Structure 1
């Protein structure tokens, strides 16, 4: 589906309208011609004779670890995961839909919590379908995703952002991302001036050769892992704290760039004042099942009585303390 009527489409896997931006035009697709610039190199160039290699991924980036590169000028965090070979970017978006005359700076192109090289991003749906972002049921009874972020800090391997809902600034999020060898640990506080519902999506998997499998695994201490598998990758979601409505697997249509059908695990809860949510988003290739050890990188979670502090003990011996207002 790369070509339509002999012309490359605006999308790597066929047309994908959510990623098309205001400056895109029928000529934009011919940027793909840059792939052939290497043919201008002379025959004796080292480019043609060098042995293919994976650079630092072969020996510098070690399995079982996570590597960060933080850009202080832009507050952009780039994370490398040797276990999967994935790289991830976290930044911040602060653009309202109301003032976004270009109609893409406030969109999924920029407003997700993270972007991962292994998981092409899914567009948001009108019925609360959401991946790698929070969605809140606003006063108009519509699902509204986060897009108004304020960067706070990157310290002790914890990336902190705050966010408010565009249509209701009494809905506040205090967000903390901790990268683990096989995924993300999220420790977030949500406060609201009136009762509402919130959702948090994991990454999304496209449907490939067969149906996407969904299963649950019971872990110790009463925890449950919700797992989806498309034959290429597996995603696991473990709701450690706060998600009273549990985890549901959504199967949206027409929102993923790779296939017309996809699946995304989504946690959901009702919030009436303020709540703390602790969530694991994990991933691995489909060649072997998640082990109990892989699904339990967190040893314990302790929330203070005033709900202003969360202390997490990780299975690798580290302790992370997150302070909230």
Structure 2
């Protein structure tokens, strides 16, 4: 443990250093010039600092204030050595961050006892800091593991829905990417954008509860079949709701509300405008845009420009205009995503 000693009196500096060497694992670092000591302290963090009060150029009080002004030295104990026993000086020193005092002339047993006690306290402080850092690291590791597990759960559930709906293909990959682009353009922070992109693939998880005769029907659904199909929003929300994990909670919100429309004509609850959660408004644009550009047994894939025209036409009715603008402002990236994640046997249509 390093003990810095600052005293312009060479004999006192020599004696103090010799006393410190008598303490196990203690190494004195002596300075007769306060400026040189401060230069060293800017680059190092000792375990104890002993400073003389009366020194030329910079006295002990001035040096104490400089020491406490450096963050890495804020908790290092500082002992002031002085012949001045006035209450005024001691109060001022304590208010400036002084830890303890030694009175000149130095009594060797007292110096030894005080230094040993302060070094023991410093060692305990360092051990506590190390332990806290270790606990923080473990908490961060556990949190990261839980986050990873939640992300894996979301991905696997999304994949389960894909098995029920073989037309999905790369739809969830593309719409998740479009979701991220829109969210970023709206100014959401990177963590929120990531969470939205991870939760978006869960939007149709409720389809696992839709009968195959309806889910896999090639033709147009009848009104009664359409009513059953629309229940996938409620089913998805029921599957995911009640979780305390932010990602699962967000996925539940999206599953319920991604078919709501900005003018209130959507389902299942007919919510309108900004009463629809932003996550759902973002995913709605991303989902419909990609669905339009994807081939289905009952339709050809629309070109990107055709899909863009449709989205623009329904801005303010079906879609939140801000989300539409965000998609269009990222148009080069939208094209890149479309090309990077083609469905099997796709012919590129732009």
> Is the TM value for this pair above 0.5?
no
TM-score (norm 2): 0.20
Structure showing greater radius of gyration is 2
* Greater strand content: 1
TM-score (norm 1): 0.21
